[in-house]
Amino acid sequence: MPTLRLGSIAPNFTAETTHGSINFHEWLGDSWGILFSHPDDFTPVCTTELGAVARNSEEFKKRNVKVIGLSANDIDSHDRWIKDINEVGKTSVDFPIIGDKDRKIATEYDMLDHLDATNVDQKGLPLTVRTVFIIDPKKQIRTLISYPAAVGRSFVEVLRVIDSLQRGEKHKFTTPVDWQPGQDVIIPPTIKTEDAKALFPGAQINEVRPYLRFVADPSK
């Protein structure tokens, strides 16, 4: 099985979800996508995570991002679990969750837990870790983040990464540490200062070092 890296094409698959059967690439269409995995249904950390994603539904839609979860359980279990997520999170889960009881998709995407020997189901099969894949409309993997089962993710950070990717790609900039939309951005070293002046007309370029040049966020 080939290793998935940044730039790899996200493997296509057909799967049963809480929204019916989907072909992953067809479902994504021309949208960006987030595929994120969970160790198990009816678990505390996962319940808080899915609630957070549901509450941020409009933020993902603003960015043309489709979200889909995956857990190593069947659809009936997911449907029962969603009721808990909605009640606990005071929200409404409107995105599909994949049923991957046989771990086929989790194996293809290398989501299985090889660290924690206790993170297994009743049959002793390894469960998934908390992996996030951010996929662009060309079906390329643009970001890959994995958390251990015991650590909940920050979907505020996931949104920040999407903003950086989308805006940076459109306006030809990169982003510094802890960047938030509207803050100054970095001119890539591959762009000469004279070319940057044309790329960012009227903007003041702050040259801290020849290789480190800041400019106001043109996407704000």
Dist. CA 2–CA 14, nearest whole Å: 19
Pairing of strands 65-71, 32-38: parallel
Query: How far apart are alpha carbons 217 and 51 in whole angstroms?
Result: 31
Q: Is 46 a catalytic residue?
A: yes
Torsions phi, psi for 81 (to 5 deg): -65, -40
Write down the catalytic residue from 15, 35, 46, 52.
46
Q: Which residue has the tokens 């650590």?
A: 151
How far is residue 130's CA from residue 111's CA, in Å, rounded to a whole number? 8
CA-based nearest residue to 196, from 178, 210, 180: 210
3-class DSSP state of 66: strand
Q: Which residues are catalytic?
A: 46
